[in-house]
Amino acid sequence: MFTHPGNTPGENMYKHTSFKGFLLQKGGVEVYLIIHLDTNPSGHASRFHSYQVWARDLAGNVSYWNQWADFGEGNNTGPNVVPVAACGGNDAVRPVMLVNFPQCALNFETWYSRPGAAEWAWDLGFSVKPQYYHGPRVGESSPSDLQAMGSWLPTGLLNDERRAEIAWYDFRPHPTGTFYATQFGEIVSGPRDRRCGTTRTIGGRNYPVLCLQQHIAPTMRTFAFPGNSVQRTYDVTGVVLPN
C-alpha cells in the first residue's frame, strides 16, 4: 500500500476523500491514525471501513492495530446512516454516519464507530467538512456505484477540515505482544488459522476473512478523553470533483 499512486504527493488527485492521516499527542504518547474515510455516497453504503493505528508509548514501545471500523449493527448490511440534526436526525445514535441533504443547513458530516466492537482495538469518531450530500432529499440516497460519481451532489465545499477523536482503554481485556486477528476483531491462532481466507456473510454482503498481524506493547496505556482529539485543515491543492 505504501507505493500506491494515491499516496503523497498524488493523494489529492487520487484519494483525497479516502485517506488522510491524523497525528495525536497526549502526555508524551504519540498516535498516528489512517482510515479509509470516504465521506461520499459510496462510503455511506459501506458498513466497514479499514483503519490502521500506530502508538508510541512513554516507554518508547510501538503498538499497532490493523482493523475494520464498524458503523453498523447486528446483521444489517449497511451502516447506520442518519440525517444530521438540522434535518431531524438523532445525533445521539451510536454507531452512526450523520449525513447532509440539500434541504437543510450544512453540518459537519460525523461518523462514530461501534464502541467496543473489538475490546482490544480503538473507538473512533470523525467530523469532516461535507463535500457531498448523501442524496437529493431526506430518505433518498444517491447511487453508491463509483461508476455513478457524476450523479453525486456536491455541497460546494471540499472536505479539507477534519477532526478525529479516538480512544483506547488498557482496562479492557486485550492481549499483549504480537498476535493475529480477523478484520472483525476475532483473535485467531495465526495467519494459517482455519478461519483465514473463508467467507463471512453479514446482511446481504460477503466478505473474505482476513487474518491481520497486530501488536500491543505491555507498556501501552489508556489514550482517552480529555486530550484525545485533533482537528486540522488539510491542503486540497489539486482536488477535482468527482472524487
Q: What's the pLDDT tens digit per position in 174-185? A: 999 999 999 999
- pTM of the entire structure? 0.92
Which residue is associated with the grid cell 498516535? 31
pLDDT computed for residue 130 by the predictor: 96
- Domain residue ranges in the chain: 17-233
DSSP string, 87-147: GT--TT-SSEEEE--TTS----EEEEPPTTSSTTS-EEEEEE---B-SSSBTTB-----GG
Lowest mean pLDDT among 14-23, 73-82, 92-101, 212-221: 14-23
SS3 166: strand
Q: What's the pLDDT tens digit per position in 196-242? A: 999 999 999 999 999 999 999 999 999 999 999 999 999 888 888 88
pLDDT computed for residue 15 by the predictor: 62
Q: Give the side-chain half-sphere CA count within 13 A for 182.
A: 18
Q: Is the model's pLDDT at 126 over the cut of 60?
A: yes
Percentage of the chain beyond pLDDT 70 is: 92
Q: Which residues, at least 6 apart from 226, have a Cβ–Cβ distance to it below 8 Å?
A: none
- Cβ proximity of 53 and 68 under 8 Å: no
pLDDT computed for residue 147 by the predictor: 84
Task: Copy the grid coordinates of residue 207.
Answer: 466478505
DSSP string, 33-90: EEEE---STTGGG-SEEEEEEEEE-TTS-EEEEEEEEE-S-TT-SS--EEE-GGGT--
Using alpha carbons, select from 67, 68, 66, 61 the residue that is nearest to residue 177.
61
CA torsion, ordered 96, 98, 99, 100, to nearest 10 deg? 160
Using alpha carbons, select from 82, 174, 160 the residue that is nearest to residue 120.
174
